[in-house]
Amino acid sequence: MGLEGLGFDGGWAATAAEVSGGLPDARVARVVAVDRHGGWVHDGEREVPFEPAGRLCFTAAAPGDLPSVGDWVLARYHDQGQAAIVHAVLPRRTLLGRKEAGKGTYLQVIAANVDVAFIVQSCHYDLNLRRLDRYLVMVREGGITPVLVLTKTDLVGRDDLLGLLAQIDAAGLQVTVIAVSNATGEGVDRFRESLEPGRTYVLVGSSGVGKSTLINQMTTPTRQMTREVSHTGEGVHTTVRRQLIRLDQGAMLVDTPGMREFGILASEAGVVDAFSDIEAWAATCRYADCRHGQEPGCAVRAAVINGELGEERLQHFLKLRREAGFHELSELERRRRGRAFGRMVKNAKKRRDGG
């Protein structure tokens, strides 16, 4: 297969040559799975387990700096080529992540170097436009093209499906939609035709919406097994870790565990970009710093009054923008604390060494 079969191109080769100066015996590989202690890398010929080098762990400013699924890395192999130590992560072209669970402000990396993100939601029980907004913000913030995949169309009537599509269109989400049924096969060919050799895709969505079953449709023989759906129509989730799968036609697809919550760590600019319909109105507001509240001459408020923009969508935009602003400040403060801690360690070493 070779590295090209995993998406390696001339741009990556140039980047690897720049980074590998201090690692003359390291080989390029791609991370295809991660777990708590390391994961697996593929060098185009074989897949072996890896651990991150101690220096890489020590110099990482945050967990998201460590090797993640989709990363290109430089690794030294040992045990007769049956295991590897990752010493460097090549600079990422794109990144899909979310806020880590809890009150922290670290970014949890879902996948790196992805071209297209398939946001999978079920027609039957899972479609949530507010959650979809969150996905779109982080996908676009990471430089990735979003595509919405509506699954289980066989569980809703034709009129209901058309109603869902109308809701998405009316919400101004500006995203390509593919509707599929894994049961009947409707729409599966369109999904398959959207996958291009050499490109990397990721499937994200809640548990049981049909992500792994959709992957099964793309591979021969199937590389994953899913259990039967429950009596509610909700699938029983089986994916337990993020992993990159090379499909038969040469595309790479990252499957992910289900995510009911999707906390954002985007910039305010990223939120604005995801709500480009609101930004178009905002450009004609009387004041450049209009917050779209009670300011006179607010074109966004006028759009709500005229029925061109939904109040709920505006409020969700304002909420996400405030959330993004808060996390930007939190990240700045975290980096300040990190620099202060680094200076403290350096001074302690000087005192210990008599400097």
Three-state SS across 116-168? EEEEEEECCCCCCHHHHHHHHHHHHHCCCEEEEEEECHHHCCHHHHHHHHHHH
- The model's pTM is 0.74
Ordered alpha helix ranges (H), the chain: 10-19, 54-59, 129-141, 158-170, 188-193, 211-218, 268-274, 276-282, 299-305, 311-352
pLDDT at residue 82, as a whole number: 93
Confidence of residue 100 (pLDDT cuts 50, 70, 90): low
Type of residue found at 328? E
pLDDT at residue 78, as a whole number: 92
Q: Is the separation of the CB atoms in 282 and 262 below 8 Å?
A: no
User: Residue 173 has which token pair?
Assistant: 């989400």
Q: Identify the residue with better confidence: 37 or 78.
A: 78
- Average pLDDT, integer, range 42-56: 93
3-89 CATH: 2.40.50.140
- Average pLDDT, integer, range 7-23: 91
Q: Which residues pair with 245 in a beta bridge?
A: 253
User: Residue 199 has which token pair?
Assistant: 């490109």
How far is residue 86's CA from residue 69's CA, in Å, rounded to a whole number? 13
- Where are the CATH 3.40.50.300 domain residues in the chain? 95-255
How far is residue 317's CA from residue 303's CA, in Å, rounded to a whole number? 14
| For the ranges 122-131, 165-174, 258-267, 285-294, the one whose mean pLDDT is highest | 285-294
Q: Which residues pair with 204 in a beta bridge?
A: 119
300-352: per-residue pLDDT in tens? Answer: 999 989 888 888 888 888 888 777 766 555 555 555 555 554 556 556 666 66
- Average pLDDT, integer, range 202-213: 82
Looking at the structure, give the CATH architecture of the domain made up of residues 95-255. Answer: 3-Layer(aba) Sandwich (3.40)
209-236: per-residue pLDDT in tens? Answer: 778 888 888 876 434 433 233 333 444 3
Q: Which residues pair with 119 in a beta bridge?
A: 148, 204
Cα within 13 Å of Cα(45), Cβ side: 4
User: Residue 151 has which token pair?
Assistant: 């699954």
- The pLDDT of residue 11 is above 90: yes
- Where are the CATH 2.40.50.140 domain residues in the chain? 3-89
Q: Which fold has domain 268-348?
A: Ribonucleotide Reductase Protein R1; domain 1 (1.10.40)
- Where are the CATH 1.10.40.50 domain residues in the chain? 268-348
How far is residue 294's CA from residue 288's CA, in Å, rounded to a whole number? 14
- Average pLDDT, integer, range 118-143: 83
